[in-house]
Amino acid sequence: MMKRGTARESETVKKSARGARRGGVSTGSRPSKSRSTEAMSGSCEVCGGTSWDSDNIRGETVCSDCGYVAAENMIDPGAEWINHSNGDDRSRVGAPSTLTLSDRGLSTEIRRSDLTSGGARKHGLSGKALRDWRRRQRIDQRSKTRDSRSRNLSVAMQFIRDRGDLPPQIEQESASLYRHSVERGLVTGRSIRGVTAACVYIAAREAKIPRKIEDIGEAFDMVSDVEVKELKRTIRLVARNLGTHHITGPEEYFEKFHSDLGLPPAVLGGAREIWSQVKDDLSWQGKKPSGVAGVVLYYASQNSTSPRTQSEVCSVSGISEVTLRGLLKILNRMIESV
């Protein structure tokens, strides 16, 4: 006698076969967690064996006889069925969470684009229904920023997204720095604009994509001397409390200033070669890194077919011509002594 489970499996196979003969599409089960990895074919070049073992974790194919690694870093063509929420559903749907939104992007939202006149026509909403949905949208937005912390994060993340001018990964890092600043109470008694500007500056500095403090202050509408001085003070405070102590060097400004000046690639190589010869001299201590980078590029451009004037270099590096000439004397003295 056939068991009940075996009979059901046989009936399922018969139904699938009938559906295939009729030209229908039969839905299969979701792929298992094990992934398929590309395998080797042919004989081993060391021992001549033809038996291969695939390590799906390391992405390697190894000879079963002698252990020779024939392939590594193989590409996995299978789907990534990983569940990060410890649940049964392993589907990868929905946008990922992001630190640049006050609620990390996890809450629902009534989009304003759906509540315009064109969106109302598309969704078949009458005038009264459109007014009702707009009222619901306002209530929904207010409910998300009911407490002061949510309002603070909402304003700060808007500043970082609109004025930070950073790559997405560095933008996430600056948002993380601001959230840590809120947890440590560094925002209390200070402007949200100033702390977000400090976090943007520190995140760019840690990623070795330096920005001048004057440029950050201009982006965040902090242009007066008092506001720039307060920004510098806030940067020191946040860096000290969050343990971000990376020191920006002149070599990190070379590529940016080289691009801003429109110099040929050979000048950048010459500037790096000059800096490798004089960077260990103690005379550079206390000098502004952007000014040192500017004078090195100026010296390299003067020895090339595309020279730049002192005023052009000063406008890019943010120093005066008097400072540039003083740094140039130091640089000439170092090069003569090398």
Question: Per-residue pLDDT tens for 48-99?
Answer: 888 888 887 788 888 888 888 888 887 766 666 665 556 665 555 566 677 7
Strand-pairing partners, residue 62, are 53, 69
∠331-333-334 over CA atoms, to 5°? 65
Nearest residue to 325 via CA among 334, 313, 337:
313
For residues 276 and 327, give the distance between their C-alpha atoms in angstroms, rounded to a whole number: 17
Task: Write down which residue in 226, 242, 258 finishes a domain.
Answer: 242
Sign of the Cα pseudo-torsion (259, 262, 265, 271, in order) = negative
Task: Name the band, by pLDDT with cuts 50, 70 and 90, for residue 274.
Answer: very high
Q: Scan for tokens 């590409």, then name that residue.
A: 75
Q: What sign results for the dihedral spanned by CA atoms 304, 306, 309, 314? A: negative
- Residues with Cβ within 8 Å of residue 128, at least 6 apart in sequence: none
Query: Do residues 286 and 202 both lie within one domain?
Result: no
Q: Same domain, yes or no, for 152 and 196?
A: yes
Does pTM top 0.75 for this prediction?
A: no
Burial of residue 117 (CB within 10 Å: 0-12, 13-18, 19+) is: exposed
- Of 76, 47, 49, the residue nearest 60 (C-alpha): 76
Residue with the larger pLDDT of the pair 167 and 124 = 167
259 lies in the same domain as 333: yes
pLDDT value at 265 more than 70: yes
Asked if the model's pLDDT at residue 10 lies above 50, the reply is no
Is the pLDDT confidence value at 20 over 50?
A: no
Question: Does 6 map to a domain?
Answer: no
Query: Can you give the pLDDT at residue 106?
Result: 66
Do both 140 and 156 map to the same domain? no
- Number of structural domains the chain divides into: 3
53: which strand partners? Answer: 62
Q: Is residue 130 part of a domain?
A: yes
Strand partners, 60: 55
Taking the CB of residue 213, how many other CB atoms lie within 10 A of it? 18
Q: How far apart are CA 336 and CA 333, in angstroms?
A: 5
- Binned at pLDDT 50, 70 and 90, residue 16 comes out as very low
Residue 93 lies in a domain: no
Residues 268 and 306 in one domain: yes
CATH number at residue 200: 1.10.472.10
User: Hunting for tokens 């992405």 — which residue is that?
Assistant: 59
Is there a single domain that holds both residue 292 and residue 311? yes
Q: Containing domain of residue 134, as a range?
A: 112-144
Which of 242, 270, 288 is at the close of a domain? 242
Q: Do the domain assignments include residue 52?
A: no
Range in 104-113, 143-152, 245-254 with the lowest mean pLDDT = 104-113
Residues 237 and 283 in one domain: no
pLDDT value of residue 92? 58
End residue of a domain, out of 187, 215, 242: 242
- Output the CA–CA distances (angstroms, integers) from residue 301 to 178, 265, 325, in the order listed: 40, 11, 15
Residue 15: per-residue pLDDT = 46
Residues 230 and 270 in one domain: no
Number of helices (H) and strands (E), helices first, in the chain?
A: 13, 3
Q: Tell me, yes or no, whether 76 lies in a domain.
A: no
Instruction: For residue 141, give the H/E element and its range.
Output: helix 127-144
| 59 lies in some domain | no
Q: Are residues 125 and 156 in the same domain?
A: no
pLDDT for res 14? 46
Claim to verify: residue 154 and residue 118 sit in the same structural domain: no
* Residue 207 included in any domain: yes
Pair 156, 194 in one domain: yes
CB 63, CB 50: distance < 8 Å: no
Structure confidence at residue 201 (pLDDT): 93
Same domain for 158 and 132: no
> Is residue 210, in this structure, part of any structural domain at all?
yes
How far apart are the C-alpha atoms of 38 and 43, rounded to whole Å?
Answer: 16
